Amino acid sequence: MRWPWAEIRGRLRLTIIVAATKSNGIGHNAGLPWRLPKEMKYFAQVTMTAPEGKVNAVAMGRNTWESIPEKYRPLRRRVNIVTSRNTNYALESSADTSSYLHTSLASALERLNSSDVGNKSLHRVFIIGGASLYSETLALPASSSAFVDRILLTRIMSPDFKECDVFMPDFLKDGVDEGRRWDRASHGDFEEWVGFKVPEGVQEENGVQYEFQMWTRYP
């Protein structure tokens, strides 16, 4: 079943951004099993790019927040949304970056659906990890106040990184029975959406081969 446009217009659209192996491995020992500075630069550029007067939000679980080196927390020039069951969990903040703690995805989405996300209006919302938050947001029904309609995937082609112990859902298989099909966007559409040039084809860095991809689902 396709999503009726009239039913989802105005609802919050979420973009997952993730680097994953061919078997959907995304982490090992609470960190990344690869070191890809150029890929990280791409991540920063994608999540920071916004029109004048607007700002993007990055939503993450507590483990993902803690995996970011302290000197880079919060991620600058973005609204940082962190989910944790610990209501007393303390977040670092800075003079020019807003950080908010929420005990559930539902309460985080309430904030993101409001105007209370900092001094600028919201442009885009990126889900940046970890596995639980990816699963929870991908499972949001079309009838909810928010849904994932785009995945920016850095597909790690080789090596296999079999040591991965954290995995994201196989979004290309999940939801097929419900007609929630994902389609890979053309590279031109990919670049138009992010707003800058993205290297095309398989890239190689520090012995790792990977490819930048964008996947979408529309009503």
Q: H or E element: which one contains 68?
A: none
Q: Which of 32, 91, 140, 172 is catalytic?
A: 32
DSSP annotation of 4 = P
Give dist(CA 193, CA 172) in Å, integer. Answer: 21
Residue appearing with tokens 């679980």: 61
191 exposed, middle or buried (CB, 10 Å; 0-12, 13-18, 19+)? middle
Q: Quick one: 66 exposed, middle or buried, by C-beta within 10 A (0-12, 13-18, 19+)?
A: middle
Question: Can 39 be counted among the known catalytic residues?
Answer: yes
Residue 27 forms beta bridges with which residues? 166
Q: How far apart are CA 39 and CA 29, in angstroms?
A: 20
Q: Which of 39, 75, 112, 153 is catalytic?
A: 39
Both structure tokens of 63:
């483990």
- Would you call 32 a catalytic residue per the annotation? yes
Residues involved in catalysis? 32, 39
